Structure formats: structure tokens, C-alpha cells
Amino acid sequence: MKSEIIAVGSEMLTPFRQDTNSLYVTEKLNSIGVAVAFKTIVGDRQKDLVSAIRTALGRVDILVLMGGLGPTEDDLTREAVAEALSLTLRRDATQVAALHARAATWRIAMPQNNLKQADVLEGATLLPNPNGSAPGQWLDTTFGGYRKLIALVPGPPHECRPLFDAECLPRIRAVAPPRAIAVRTLKAAMIPESQADKLLAPVYSAYSDIETTLLAHAGDLQITLICAKPDAEAARQRVDELAEGLEEILEDWLYSSEGDSLEQIVLYYLGLRQATLAVAESCTGGLVAQRITSVPGASRAFLGGAVVYSDALKTSLAGVPAALIAKHGAVSAEVAKALAEGIRARTGASVGLGITGIAGPTGATESKPVGLVHIAVCDPQGCDVLERTFRGDRQRIREWAAQQALDMVRRRLM
């Protein structure tokens, strides 16, 4: 069965805001074997909305409309579905009472306009919305002689998502042909982008029953395998078989077979080794610390560190000898190593990480280009030191450097 998602709202046709609910709803639809064939974004104009709804009903079986259910004049989704399907709207007395009760709780006078939210499409079921005033609606109907399922769900993510899960997904599952979906997500770090697909494509393209998606960003590669089959065990086996083949190629670029983030894996290895980590960051300016501390429970193995943007702080907070900076320059292998060793000594961490580089756009010298980064990881057994030159703008260079640094810690702990 094919589906379409229509996101309703003029703000999503500006350069400033993007629909994100559809990613969530897509994942949920895929999980019950329903593919999304089209996504449409349309503004708050009834004529445009009617056109989008009719087009969708002409090409898919399941239509999810997100947004346009609120109380304002701009909220036209109910009216547009009514027009597109020549249905009447009736005002539901129970719903009117509920809206009055809600307004009373909030001790506010209810504007007359609010009652729009009690308008129900002919033949539709109201879907309770515990997180907002506008209920969803569910319509099991026909269009052009074919059965069509239509879900109207509110736009705000904290209303849309739970309502879709609780009310829409079970209703679609009951109608969609039973299919089991197996999903695996592999993650790899710092594999050269030009090599990844060249190495992996010959393997995954032999699995035409598995949808393989590669997503690469600043040294992080996510490979998602999705297989839908009537039989759950068969789907799982196929996905596991392909995952094994890809893992073999990825070798130690692979850091997770279960979709974990690199920072989660670093914390996992730290726990396994009963080790602790501290960082001294210059060009990444707190990016590594921020990634690690985004993981709940990071405090068990991550002590903290220093953001040593100025040379003076490299000395005062991370114990890098001023003479070393004067001799080799702040961006050098020697200073990276001194940062890693210094922050270890200062904090008592078992593993120290030091990063220094030129994120740009300024700061380059004749011998040291923008993008040059030195990274060192030290533990009681010694140090790994790496020099890389990353390309891109300031943001990209910082992201690459942080990724490379975390990957070096992972490899050191492995």
C-alpha cells in the first residue's frame, strides 16, 4: 500500500521552517510495511489544499494530513477535505462541550472561532488529542471507486506524534497487508567518502529485497538496512546476512552494529576499561565535550576538560609549557600531545585528549593552512598523534576534527 503525507502550513513554504513530523510518521509507516510515495507541503489556502488532497487521493491508498486543525481562520484542513470529497461538516455537541470545559479550566473566555475545532467530517471518527484542543479525524472512505484511508492529525509535534501512534497506526495496520519489517543500522567513522559506496555497493546491491540507505556527514557514515517480508524471521535473516557482509568490509571503521552514536560507543568502551576521559580542546572549542555530555550518564566516565582557546589558557589550564608553544606554534603535534598529557595530569583521568588546529576562515600561515588539525590521545601506555587537513568551512572543519578525535579515542580503547 502506498501513502502520501501532506504537511499543511504556509510557514513551511518559507526559507525558515521545515516540516519534521513527516520523518517521524514515515518511520512509523515503514515499520508496518507502508511506503511513503509522496510528500507534499502546501500553504494555508483552501484552493491549494483541495488541489493537493485530490491529487494525493488519485495516486495513493493512505493519506496523512498534518496541521491546519487549529481554531484560526488559517486552519482549513477540515474544510478542504470536505470540499475535496464533497462531504458535509457537522458541529459535534460533545466536542463543543469539551472545548467549553477546557476554556473554563484555563479561566479564559472562549472565542467563537474555537468552535471550528468541533466540526466533524461526515463519516469521520474523532481521534482524541490529549495534548491539545483540536482532535484528529479518521476517515475510511472511497474516492474514484477505490478505498482510501485519510488521517487528519494536528501539526504541533507533541500533539501529532502521540496521536499518530495511538490512533492512526493501529487503524492502518489493521488494513495494510501483514508485513514484518526488519531494520539494522550500522555506523562507521572516518571511512573516506569516495571509498564507502564503491566498497559497499557491490555487496548491498545484490540484496534487491533490502532497502539500503547511506547517510554520510563529516566523517560519520550511517547505513540503514530495511527489509519487509510477510515472514518476520525471513526478513530478519536477510538483514542480518547483509549486515554481516557489510561489517566484513567496514572492518574497524565500523563502530556500531546497532545504531549507537560514536560518543555512546566511546563511553561504552571507557566503562568497559573502567577508564575515565578528560579533553583539552582548542579549535573544536567544546564540541567534543558537548557531544560526549549529550549522552545521559556521561558523568560516570567523563570528568570534563578545558577549552583552551588562548595560548595562555593552554598553559594555565592544561599545563602546556609556554616554551613548547613558542617553539612549535600552538597548532603542532607537540602541543596536541602536551594538551592530552597535561589535561590527564591535571584531572587524574586515565585517558587524555588534546586537539589543536585552524578552523578558519582566518589564522592560516604559509606552512599551516586552514583545516590543519593535530590530535593526540594519551593513556598510561603512551600516545597516538595524528595530523589531518580537513576541507570545508569553519563549521565543517570543527565537525570533522571532533569526529576524528572521538574515533581516535575509540581506537585507542579497543
Which residue number, 295 or 377, has a Cβ lying nearer to its own copies?
A: 295
Q: For residues 253-292, which are near its own copies according to CB under 8 A? A: 278-279, 281-282, 284-290, 292
The reply on whether position 20 binds its own copies by CB under 8 A is yes
Crossing angle (nearest 10°) for helices 262-272 and 394-413 = 30
CA angle 241, 29, 9 (to 5 degrees): 140
Q: For residues 52-81, which are near its own copies according to CB under 8 A? A: 52, 55, 59
Q: Site for its own copies (CB under 8 A): which residue of 18, 113, 142, 195? A: 18
CA angle 102, 104, 109 (to 5 degrees): 105
Range in contact with its own copies (rule: CB under 8 A) among 105-113, 171-179, 310-318, 376-384: 310-318
Q: For residues 173-212, which are near its own copies according to CB under 8 A? A: 211
Which residue number, 88 or 205, has a Cβ lying nearer to its own copies?
A: 205
b/e string for 102-126 if b means 16 or more Cβ within 10 A? eeeeeeeebeeebbbbbbbbeebeb
Q: Site for its own copies (CB under 8 A): which residue of 69, 121, 153, 298? A: 298
Q: For residues 80-119, which are near its own copies according to CB under 8 A? A: none
The reply on whether position 41 binds its own copies by CB under 8 A is yes
The total of other beta-carbon atoms located within 10 Å of residue 18's CB is: 12
Which residue number, 120 or 242, has a Cβ lying nearer to its own copies?
A: 242
The reply on whether position 43 binds its own copies by CB under 8 A is yes
355 with 390: CB under 8 angstroms? Answer: no
DSSP assignment of 42-70 equals E-S-HHHHHHHHHHHHTT-SEEEEES--S
The reply on whether position 166 binds its own copies by CB under 8 A is no
For 362, counting Cβ atoms within 10 Å of its Cβ (0-12 exposed, 13-18 middle, 19+ buried), the class is: exposed
DSSP assignment of 163-180 equals HIIIIIHHHHHHHSPP-E
The reply on whether position 37 binds its own copies by CB under 8 A is yes
Q: For residues 375-394, which are near its own copies according to CB under 8 A? A: 394
Q: Site for its own copies (CB under 8 A): which residue of 255, 360, 374, 378? A: 360
The reply on whether position 319 binds its own copies by CB under 8 A is no
